[in-house]
Amino acid sequence: MSDILIKGDNSQSYRAADELFLEFERMIVSGELCDGEALPPEREIVETFGVSRTVVREAILALSNKGLVEAKPRFRPVVRKPNFDTAIDTVGNVVSRLLEEGDGVKNLFDTRIMVEVYLARQAAVDAKRDDMQSLKDALEENEAAINNMDLFFQTDVKFHRVLYAMSGNPLLPSIHRAYITWLKPNWVKMPTLPARNQLNFESHTAIYNAILMRDPDKAEAATRKHLADAWDQINNILSAAK
Domain ranges of the chain: 10-82, 90-241
Record: fold of 10-82:
Arc Repressor Mutant, subunit A (1.10.10)
Distance (Å, whole) CA 36 – CA 79: 5
Beta carbons within 10 angstroms of residue 176's beta carbon = 21
- The larger pLDDT score, comparing residue 113 to residue 15, is at 113
pLDDT, tens only, 127-149 = 999 999 999 999 999 999 999 98
Contact indicator for 36, 83 with CB cutoff of 8 Å: no
pTM (two decimals)? 0.65
pLDDT, tens only, 85-133 = 665 665 555 555 655 666 777 888 899 999 999 999 999 999 999 999 9
69 contact partners, CB below 8 Å, separation of at least 6 = 24, 28, 39, 60, 63, 77, 78, 79, 80
SS3 70: strand
The two domains 10-82 and 90-241 share their CATH topology (first three levels equal): no
Of the chain, the percentage scoring pLDDT greater than 90 comes to 51
Architecture of the domain defined by 90-241: Up-down Bundle (1.20)
The lowest-confidence range among 2-6, 160-164, 212-216 is 2-6
What's the length of the chain? Answer: 242
Distance (Å, whole) CA 5 – CA 12: 10
What is the Cα gyration radius of the chain?
A: 23
Task: Read off the DSSP letter of residue 41.
Answer: P
